[in-house]
Structure 1
């Protein structure tokens, strides 16, 4: 089921991935910078019946690609509140992956009464801003996921072939959860046959990336916030390299408050942390102990 929520600049598409029983707690899932709501398909299955899981396609992506600016993480935070208002929910658990973790932490910092707790996956931790051009910085961090935004593909299979060459995603397409991963990847595509493209609006990605990498408020939101949080981190990186985005030493150096509980998610990478069964069970556990 997909809900349309009026936000500044258009209508945000919000996927109700799990309904839960009457009175079930509400969890809002916030995806990464070039991702979409279906990234949480495996997590939704693990939480089936336990929570009402709302997952927006963030503005400038997938079914929310027609939402105009403003871009940036403050706009996403305002959208989160708009979704809560539309759903008549006073407060919810925010579950964020990658950029979505920064959106969740910023929302909790700006609107603490609307967020009961945070579950952050491989993101949300602020570090010193890098030097140089934002496109170059994003290319360095997310690599092929950024390059595909300017590419076109003759059909869906060609797009999946692109991902099959990705060292962190390709092998996972043949895993037991491959259908869920494929559905997530296909949800990104727009355009007619012969000209299939990513739905992501490049200006939105650039603005959001600049905030994640360099906005002072975004970078201190988790450190200075008061909402309790659980942080899970993948051992491997965006290209399946053995060094992940986060590790115990980097997290310790970030100076996070004792209200942040840290859980290693094991030997998964930045993408498969949302799909590999053992990591998904940890995420479901973190959500279950946060509601």
Structure 2
């Protein structure tokens, strides 16, 4: 893994890059790369386990989206359309013609919007527990939807141990902690003890959340999908509750014409940190194969 800095409007977007390597170097070099797009208060390290499961078969790039972690200092305007522009800048900077987009949660909405606006740059999209309109009442705000993940933005923490304890007490992470979730929270921290805090820019989070909850262009992007796409949905939600964000009934109601599979016994967060990531790898390969024959 290496760090990269991508010139974008207002400065540089931070990214992590896992190179294609290993015995199948030639095949990996020729395979469509993967661009990981994280969730609303997450960061690039959310894709560490995906990189491990890919095993160097494909190049994987994961940026810290504008307003998060290493990209926290980038200015607005914020919103999902700005992320689309930043993702295209990443592909341009790395001289990548097309990539498979893997979007988790809010990142799935960004992936759909990118494919709808720039189909020539997208080989396919894997949606991971996101990308389709959420079953939320019209008056739901981002604080109510995200709970502790949003509340932490206004908190300070005495040290890394205190921050780790905060996340380990979260129902979605309880009894599921591993090296990948550890790397994820470490990348989120900024400041100095005893006043460590999340690096997320709250203004950016709220602007992005407004798009996910109510922007017609964002919510309609999955219905305009011009590239192969697949959905993996978790049976449990953001607080490890059941049901999760999506159910078979909800998917039928949305009437989105793309293959969808349930990740049983996984929650909204664990899908990126558990062995369920192998299912994401399988879907990456499936949409890549579809792209070749499209």
TM-score (norm 1): 0.93
2:175 to 161, 171, 174: 171
Partner Cα distance (1:256, 1:28) in 2 = 23
Partner Cα distance (2:220, 2:18) in 1 = 31
Q: 2:292 matched to which residue of 1? A: none
Give CA deviations for 1:145-197 in whole Å, capped at 9, x if unaligned: 00000000011110011112111112211xxxx11111111110000111100
Q: 2:10 matched to which residue of 1? A: 9
The alpha-carbon deviation at position 215 of structure 1 amounts to 0.4
Q: 2:234 matched to which residue of 1? A: 234
The alpha-carbon deviation at position 60 of structure 1 amounts to 0.4
The alpha-carbon deviation at position 15 of structure 1 amounts to 0.6
User: Is this contact kept in 2: 1:39–1:274, CA < 8 A?
Assistant: yes
Matches within 5 A, 1:61-72: 61-72=68-79
2:283 to 282, 286, 289: 286
User: Is this contact kept in 2: 1:152–1:197, CA < 8 A?
Assistant: yes
Give the number of aligned pairs.
281
User: Is this contact kept in 2: 1:129–1:214, CA < 8 A?
Assistant: no
User: Is this contact kept in 2: 1:2–1:15, CA < 8 A?
Assistant: yes
Partner Cα distance (2:114, 2:244) in 1 = 25
Q: Does 1:273 align with 2:271?
A: yes
The alpha-carbon deviation at position 130 of structure 1 amounts to 4.2
Q: 1:50 matched to which residue of 2? A: 57
Q: Closer, same or farther in 2 for the Cα pair 1:207/1:55, shift >3 Å?
A: same
Matches within 5 A, 1:203-242: 203-242=203-242
Partner Cα distance (1:270, 1:26) in 2 = 24
Partner Cα distance (2:240, 2:136) in 1 = 23
Q: Which runs of 5+ in 2 are unaligned?
A: 289-294
Matches within 5 A, 1:155-166: 155-166=159-170
Runs of 4+ in 1 over 6 A off after TM superposition: none
User: Is this contact kept in 2: 1:127–1:254, CA < 8 A?
Assistant: no
Q: Which runs of 5+ in 1 are unaligned?
A: none
Q: Does 1:264 align with 2:262?
A: yes
Q: 1:150 matched to which residue of 2? A: 154
